Amino acid sequence: MKLVSQEVAGLKLKPGEKDKIFFDEALIGFGIRLRSDGGRLRRRWIVQYRDADGRTRRLKIGDADIIDAKHARKKALVALAGVAKGEDPQADKAQARRSAALTLKSVVTDYLAMKELELQRGEYRAASFRVTKLYLTGPYFRSLHAMAVSKIGLADVAACLNAIERNSGRVTAGRARSALSSMFTWAMQQGLMGAHPQNPVIATKKPKDATPRDRVLSDDELAAIWRGCEDDDFGKVVKLLMLTACRRDEIGGLRRNEINDDGTLILPPERVKNNHKHELPLTPLALSIIGTVPERVGRDHLFGDRSGKGFTRWSVAKDALDKRVNGEMTGQWRLHDIRRAVATGMGNLGVEPHIIEIVLDHFKRGDEHGAALARSGQAR
The verdict on 224 and 365 lying in the same domain is: yes
The verdict on 85 and 114 lying in the same domain is: no
CATH number at residue 299: 1.10.443.10
Q: Which domain holds residue 68?
A: 5-89
Q: Is the pLDDT of residue 374 over 70?
A: no
Count CA atoms closer than 13 A to 50's CA, side-chain side. Answer: 5
Position 200 in a domain: no
CB 233 within 8 A of CB 294: no
Position 332 in a domain: yes
The verdict on 174 and 224 lying in the same domain is: no
Mark which of 56, 89, 122 sits at the end of a domain.
89
Dihedral angle at the C-alpha atoms of 159, 164, 167, 172, nearest 10 degrees? -160
The verdict on 232 and 366 lying in the same domain is: yes
Domain total of the chain:
3
The verdict on 266 and 358 lying in the same domain is: yes
pLDDT band at 210 (very low <50, low <70, confident <90, very high): low
pLDDT band at 122 (very low <50, low <70, confident <90, very high): confident
Quick: pLDDT tens for 171-180: 888 989 999 9
CATH number at residue 52: 3.30.160.390
The verdict on 267 and 321 lying in the same domain is: yes
Mean pLDDT score, 15-25: 90
Mean pLDDT score, 150-172: 90
Mean pLDDT score, 216-243: 95
Position 298 in a domain: yes
Mark which of 60, 89, 118 sits at the end of a domain.
89
| pTM, 2 dp | 0.49
Integer Cα distance of 177 and 307 in angstroms:
29
pLDDT of residue 380: 40
The verdict on 236 and 368 lying in the same domain is: yes
CA 113 to mean position of chain CA atoms: 11
The verdict on 368 and 226 lying in the same domain is: yes
What percent of the chain has pLDDT above 90? 51
Backbone torsions φ then ψ of 301, nearest 5 degrees: -65, 140
Integer Cα distance of 56 and 88 in angstroms:
11
The verdict on 227 and 372 lying in the same domain is: yes
CB 21 within 8 A of CB 48: yes
